Amino acid sequence: MRIGTIFLGLTAFIAHSLLAHSAWSNELPSDFAVNPSAVNMTLEPKVVVNSGRLEWIPFQRDLTVWPSLSYEDKRPTPKARKVTLEGPLNGDPVRGRELALSRDKGYCVICHELPGEAWPGTVGALLLKFKKHNYPSELVFQQIFDSRVFNPNSYMPPYGTFGILNEQEIRDLVAYLQSLD
């Protein structure tokens, strides 16, 4: 089961890398701040004091794969996806906590209060003592994968649909939340 997950994850990653770049082969929006020949195309502005030229430095990750504000960007926003949690949860709560705090993964703490973390966000619901709600794991899995299924105006990022987290990572997060008592 786990080998299957890794294989599928790898396939998705390769497909992601290939499609992400081939998608823009001839039609990169002209107002994107990018270096088209770089692996990570996205650039970040760098202001140089006493200079009439604006410098650009590579950003830590490629952001061209998601819809942008450009009027030339004609890719549709991925719609809400309903998913089912199959088999036992099989999540690692320790890894789940790491993901919840990682800036580049879940980063749940930017909006939600989690135990043991100073300066939590107050935008999202409290996650302290999450276990007491007795939410079914299927529901929590769907909420993280794509919360728009429950509320079209939800501000929570669709972690699964947008490929921010893979299935096992969402399972780990669900296991972590279900362990908070």
Partner 1 sequence: MKRTFIPVLMLLAGITQAQAEAPYREYDPMENYLPHVRGDMQLSGSYKYWKDPKNLDWRMAGNPEENWKLNWKFMDPPFNASVHGGHFAADRGESIFQELNKTGRFAACLGAKKGNLKGLRTRYPMVRADLNHVAGLEEVIERCAAKEGRVLQNGSYDNSAVSVYVASQSTGSPININVTSPGPLKAAFERGRKLFHTRVGRSNLACSSCHTHQIGLHLRGTVVTTPYGDAAHFPVYRTRYQLQSLHLRFAECNLATRTQPLLPGSRPYTDIEVFLTGLSNGYPVSVPSERD
Instruction: Output the smallest distance, CB 75 to partner 1, in A.
Output: 5
How far apart CA 136 and CA 75 sit, in angstroms, is: 35
Is 4 a binding residue for partner 1 by CB under 8 A? The answer is yes
Interface with partner 1, residue 78, by CB under 8 A = yes
The smaller minimum CB distance to partner 1, of residues 18 and 131, is found at 18
* 162 lies in the binding site for partner 1 (CB under 8 A): yes
Burial class (CB in 10 A: 0-12, 13-18, 19+), 96: buried
By C-beta, is 28 or 180 nearer to partner 1?
28
- Least distance (Å) from partner 1 to the CB of residue 63? 4
Please calculate the CA angle 53-55-57 and round it to the nearest 5 degrees. 175
Q: Is 164 in the site for partner 1 (CB under 8 A)?
A: yes
Q: Residue 143 half-sphere exposure, CB side, CA atoms within 13 Å?
A: 12
- C-alpha neighbours within 13 Å on the C-beta side of residue 11: 6
Stretch that binds partner 1, among 44-52, 92-100, 128-136, 173-181 (CB under 8 A): 44-52
**Is residue 178 a contact point for partner 1 (CB under 8 A)?**
no
Q: Which of residues 83-112 bind partner 1 (CB under 8 A)?
A: 83-87, 109-111
Is 74 near partner 1 (CB under 8 A)?
A: yes
Q: Is 136 in the site for partner 1 (CB under 8 A)?
A: no
- 132 touches partner 1 (CB under 8 A): no
Q: Is 19 in the site for partner 1 (CB under 8 A)?
A: yes
- In sequence order, which ranges of 87-166 are alpha helices (DSSP H)? 93-101, 137-145
Three-state DSSP state, 11: helix
Please give the backbone phi and psi of residue 86, each rounded to the nearest 5 degrees, phi first. Answer: -100, 145
